[in-house]
Amino acid sequence: MTLFVEAVCHAIEAHSFSGKMKPKTLEAKILSDADKLDAIGAIGVARAFLYSGEKGRSIEETLKHFEEKLLKLRDLLYTETARKIAEERHRFLEIFYRQIKKELDEFEAEQDAEDYVGNGQHYK
């Protein structure tokens, strides 16, 4: 196998978030960063919900994915350029995450209140 082919194989193997292999070459680091940048920001949010909807997952399950992966990606970037690009995207991700959690909590509280009153019980 040529050095070029080995380098390409390494970049592909090492770019995954869940992979155990760390990228060693600049090219592998750039590919890893590009993959992570694609997963955050407005497009990343859209992709996460599109994929979750396709798989029949709930909003709550999708938000768990934010917690377990998406909100961690910024801190796993290798290059300075990727870290600069990630700042705005990560900020958007955090704002979106906080807002949707807030709205879901409010919705849940409203549902609890309706269930409480609907069961013939009343607030004190």
Q: Tell me the CATH number at 112.
A: 1.20.58.1910
Owning domain of residue 41? 29-118
pLDDT digits (tens, 9 = 90+) for 64-73: 999 999 999 9
Looking up tokens 């990560």, which residue turns up?
90
Assigned domain for 58 exists: yes
Q: What is the dihedral angle through the alpha carbons of 88, 90, 94, 95, rounded to the nearest 10 degrees? A: 20
**Total domains in the fold of the chain:** 1
d(CA 9, CA 1): 10
Average the pLDDT over 19-47 and give the result: 92
Assigned domain for 11 exists: no
Query: Encoding tokens for residue 15?
Result: 């770019």
Assigned domain for 24 exists: no
Assigned domain for 34 exists: yes
pLDDT digits (tens, 9 = 90+) for 3-15: 887 877 777 777 7
Assigned domain for 8 exists: no
In degrees and rounded to multiples of 5, residue 80 shows phi and psi of -65, -40
Assigned domain for 95 exists: yes
Q: What pTM did the predictor assign?
A: 0.79
Compare 78 and 113 and report the one with higher pLDDT.
78
